[in-house]
Amino acid sequence: MTAETSSSHPTAGGGGPGWQHSLSVRLFWLTMAMILLVELIVFIPSATAFRANWLEEKAQAARIASLAVEASPSRDLSMELSDSLLESAGVLALTELDDSMRIRLLPAAGPIPQPVIPIDLRQESYMSSVSATAGTFFAPQGRSLMIIDHGARQGRVIEVIVSEAPLKGALWAYGGRILLLSLLISLAAGGLVFAVLFALVVRPMRRVTRSVEQFRQDPGDWTGHLSPTTRRDEIGRAQNALADMESAVSESFRQRERLAELGEAVARINHDLRGSLAAAQLVSEGLARSEDPRVKRAAPRLERALERAITLATQTLQYGKTSAPKADLHPCALAMILDEAAEEVLAGKPGITWQNQVDARLTVQADGDHLHRIAANLIRNAAEAMGESGEIRVELEDRILRVCDTGSGLPEEIIETLFKPFGSAGKRGGTGLGLAIARDLARAMGAELRLGETGADGTAFELEFAEVPDWSGEAAAQ
């Protein structure tokens, strides 16, 4: 890991995230917040019911006081008795309506605070009660309430005037008790939920997180593998998948290191081998000038064997380069490049017919050298597949260039590994790298090389360009 990488990921070290970023702390606060939210939703109908009960109690006390007034002779009460009944009922005044007559049973001992808000308990709906309860919490000081309800006797109605301040104070006290109880419940429930989630979610996620961070720091030399778990939920499946991935990637890194070491050794061997083969080729050229008939017959076979060995060494080194081939895209005369590649490959093969059906005026955006090497490889493979005689035809349709031969088709066993390095090395004189290199060259130009079809009537390879060839005719000579 470089310094830049480490600084951009502060949690990659051993300290881990701060408590404010901890999943467990966030779960705890989230649990408490959700419980308080539920308590708030429950508190609204509870406070409404508390207000309704308070008002009903005042109305019931007033009804009892009205019965006491009726029990007195001529409903004539002394001032002291009237004030005592008002105080015991907790009201300011009591009036009874009977046949549209207003009878002041208990008159107010003093002036009634204004304004007076009427509340008809006989007709009050639930929603209006909820709204009135919310208004009571934030009502201004000094208001009075007129409670209208059924009287003690059938057909009678009472009007009870009370101060709103006791109701407001009782509601605030009730809300405080509910808030305290809610905090205690949320703390207890939050703690229990936190403990369960910490055991089932947070602790396993911490192990997974530490494993991922350690793996990111050094995937090639990392030993703290996650162990598989028997859990079958989402976290268990994620941990098992991550454990498998870590094992696979670690093994891949180890193989990569071994392949890198092997590649260096092969490169050194190839360098020495090419030198030895070049010397052997010089000797074979001298043998070719010998007048001995046996030497003349053996020399061509020796030259071909040396050429194949040199080609194998050269292509192995080319494919072993880590950087992808870069392409210099510009308009290229497609037909001319194909003819040049065919002339180079088919020299000395008079039995093979070449048919270029691509219009000479067409140009394509490509790298001329890459395109020449791809075409030469495809034509060479087609010629080797047909032997001493046959026909190679190239044709263009839209963006697809087809290279077709009249051979007997590709063996079934090499089709699946056709474009893999050394995948088709089983064919006669093949290195198994030509098509792999050709595909890399095609992709560097934004094109794609693939097998079109193969069978007893021949094989066709397709090269699909990124753009449709045009008729500009401005291609530079390649």
- Cβ atoms 52, 130 nearer than 8 A: no
Tokens found for residue 367: 């790298």
Query: 263, 295, 319 — which closes off a domain?
Result: 319
pLDDT for position 195 = 80
Same domain, 360 and 441: yes
The DSSP H or E segment spanning 402 is strand 400-405
Using pLDDT thresholds of 50, 70 and 90, give the confidence band for residue 321. Answer: low
Using pLDDT thresholds of 50, 70 and 90, give the confidence band for residue 262. Answer: low
Chain length of the chain = 478
Same domain, 420 and 346: yes
pLDDT for position 3 = 39
pLDDT for position 287 = 64
pLDDT digits (tens, 9 = 90+) for 20-62: 566 667 777 887 888 888 888 888 999 999 999 999 999 898 8
Same domain, 97 and 163: yes
Bridge pairing between strands 116-120 and 144-150: parallel
Question: What is the pTM (predicted TM-score) of this model?
Answer: 0.44
Same domain, 247 and 387: no
Query: 263, 290, 319 — which closes off a domain?
Result: 319
Same domain, 172 and 311: no
Residue 59 lies in a domain: yes
Residue 76 lies in a domain: yes
Tokens found for residue 212: 């991922």
Residue 15 lies in a domain: no
pLDDT digits (tens, 9 = 90+) for 180-189: 988 888 888 7
Same domain, 359 and 310: no
pLDDT for position 97 = 86
- Cβ atoms 457, 406 nearer than 8 A: yes
Domain region containing 354: 330-464
Q: Which residue has the higher pLDDT, 313 or 179?
A: 179
Same domain, 117 and 247: no
Q: Given a cut of 50, is residue 7 above it in pLDDT?
A: no
pLDDT for position 478 = 41
Q: Determine the Cα angle at 43 with ends 39 and 49, to 5°.
A: 150
Same domain, 295 and 369: no
**How many domains does the structure of the chain reveal?**
3
Residue 284 lies in a domain: yes
How far from 88 is each of 52, 96, 109, 217, 223, CA to CA, in Å?
20, 18, 14, 79, 82
Round the average pLDDT of the chain to a whole number and report it. 78
Same domain, 379 and 456: yes
Same domain, 166 and 73: yes
Residue 54 lies in a domain: yes
Q: Which residue has the higher pLDDT, 403 or 266?
A: 403
Residue 97 lies in a domain: yes
Q: Given a cut of 80, is residue 415 above it in pLDDT?
A: yes
Residue 200 lies in a domain: no
pLDDT for position 422 = 61
Which of 14-23, 103-112, 270-279 has the least mean pLDDT?
14-23
How far from 1 is each of 5, 112, 217, 220, 221, CA to CA, in Å?
6, 82, 6, 11, 12
What share of the chain has pLDDT > 70, as a percent?
72
Residue 427 lies in a domain: yes
Mind giving me the DSSP string for 127-166?
A: HHHHHHHHHHHTPPTT-EEEEEEE-SSTT-EEEEEEEHHH
Tokens found for residue 89: 């009922």
Among 334, 307, 355, CA closest to 400: 334
Using pLDDT thresholds of 50, 70 and 90, give the confidence band for residue 89. Answer: confident
Same domain, 450 and 389: yes
Using pLDDT thresholds of 50, 70 and 90, give the confidence band for residue 226. Answer: low
Same domain, 271 and 372: no
